[in-house]
Amino acid sequence: MLNDFWIFASGLMLLIGLLASEGLLLVVGSLVLVLAIAARIWGRFAFRSVSHARSISRQRAFIGDTVDYSVTLDNDKVLPLIWVDIQDSFPDDRDLTGATMQGNGLEVNRQHTITTSPLPYQKATWKYSMVCSERGYHRIGPVRLRTGDIFGFSSAEICYPGFDHILVFSRVIDLERLLFPPEHPMGEIRGSLPIYFDTNRVVGQRDYQSRDPMKHIG
């Protein structure tokens, strides 16, 4: 929209310059028109031959594990990108050491954000460590890339719908380290009083005590 405005403004200046024979308006109008057309071409071909990829060292992990996570951006063309914002949807309960995380309003996911300026035929990779602190199925993606031309007239945006995932299992505990052995889940220490009285069993037969209720006197 801004680019269209500058094209219209430059055309108007050229028209006025021709009618009024004003050389300055012709020069300024021509310069603005060239810049606006260059910005439009820049925005059209900005993401041509640009690829984004993310990598997770493994898709199965346990609580407490640390997984290697990396993001790669490849600009495989002669046209550089002045700036690029990479915004990747990321689960709220996953942590990336050294990464920039931004909130996403009321949505569950946050945004893993990277800002860079790739040169022609440059391939950049960012490596992080992801800590698995919550069990469950966690999805990463989709990712959105934004850029703009060198003059600030226009911006371009592209979205890659692909996503990755990681499945985190509960922590595994050695049975030998449990407090109670498996054959005695309630422990080996008996309580001073049984849970209930059964007068039909020998264990329920004993001498009367003053604290016993009347219904247990047989």
What is the average per-residue pLDDT within 111-132?
A: 91
Convert the pLDDT of each residue in 59-97 to its tens digit.
Answer: 999 988 899 999 999 999 888 888 899 999 888 767 788
Cβ(2)–Cβ(14) below 8 Å: no
Confidence label for 187 from pLDDT (cuts 50, 70 and 90): low
Instruction: List CB contacts of 76: < 8 A, sequence separation 6 or more.
Output: 49, 50, 51, 121, 123
Joined together, the tokens standing for residue 94 give 């996953």
In the structure, how many helices (H) and strands (E) does the chain have? 2, 12
Whole-number Å distance between alpha carbons of 148 and 46: 8
Is the bond preceding residue 161 a cis peptide, omega within 30 degrees? no
What is the average per-residue pLDDT within 44-62?
A: 89
The one-letter amino acid at 52: H
Mean pLDDT of the chain: 77
What is the average per-residue pLDDT within 112-117?
A: 90
**Whether residue 181 has pLDDT greater than 70:** no
What is the average per-residue pLDDT within 172-184?
A: 64
What are the φ and ψ backbone dihedral angles of 6, each rounded to 5 degrees? -70, -35
Joined together, the tokens standing for residue 102 give 């931004």
Percent of the chain at pLDDT exceeding 90: 21
